[in-house]
Copies of this chain bind each other. A is one copy, B any other.
C-alpha cells in the first residue's frame, strides 16, 4: 500500500496554519486557533467576524484582528524574511476587503507588502503616478471587480508575474464577479494568471512562493 507520509508538508513549510472561519462558530474558531498555535508557527483565520475574534482573544490574547481584511492573525515569527516586495493593487474602496485579505496574508507569510489603492483604470493618471512603486515589486496581486481591467493594464507596465483576483464587487451584469473573472482570464497581458473570485488568500499564497525564489 501507500505509506501515510505528509507530502503536503513540503509545500507548507514556513507557511502559517490557516482556518477558513466562515460558517464556523466562534467557539470552533477559538478552539482550532488555539490548537494551531502550539507548534510556534503563525496562525491565520480568514473570513472571520469580530465576534469570532473576541472568542479567539479569550484563549490567545496575542491574536490581532484586521477589520477590513476580516482576518485574525497570530504572528509568532516576527518581521518579514523575504527581501522582495509583494505589491497589492486595487481600484477602489469596495475592493479593499479582498485586497486586505491578500495583504494581511502575505505579511503573515513573511513578505514585505506595498499597498497601492485607488488606481482604477478609468482614471489612468492615478495608476501612472504609482508607476515606480509598481516596478519595485517582485510580484503583484491585482484585485478588481466590475470589468476587471486593472490586471491587464498593470501587467503591461511591469516585468513580473501578476496574480489577478476578480472581486464580487459590482451589480447587474457583473454577475457577482463573473464579468471580472472572464476579463482577467482573457487578459492580453501574458504575465497574468488568475485565482478564484474574492480569493485574496490564494493570491497571497502563490505570490509568497514566487517572492521566496528571489531571496533564495
Contacts and interface: CB of A to CB of B under 8 A. Distances in A.
Interface of A: 1-8, 10-13, 23, 91-92, 94, 120-126, 128-129, 131-132, 135, 138, 145-149, 152-153, 155-161, 163, 166, 168, 170-199, 201-203, 205-206, 209-210, 213-214, 216
Contact of A173 (B148, B163, B181, B209): B181
Given A5-B125, A182-B179, A196 B213 contact: no
B156 A185 contact: no
A6 B91 CA distance: 16
A173 B198 CA distance: 10
Given A122-B188, A190-B205, A171 B156 contact: no
Contact of A121 (B91, B153, B163, B201): B153
Contacts of A196: 171-174, 185-186
Contact of A124 (B126, B157, B173, B216): B157
A18 to B, nearest CB: 8
Contact of A178 (B4, B182, B188): B182
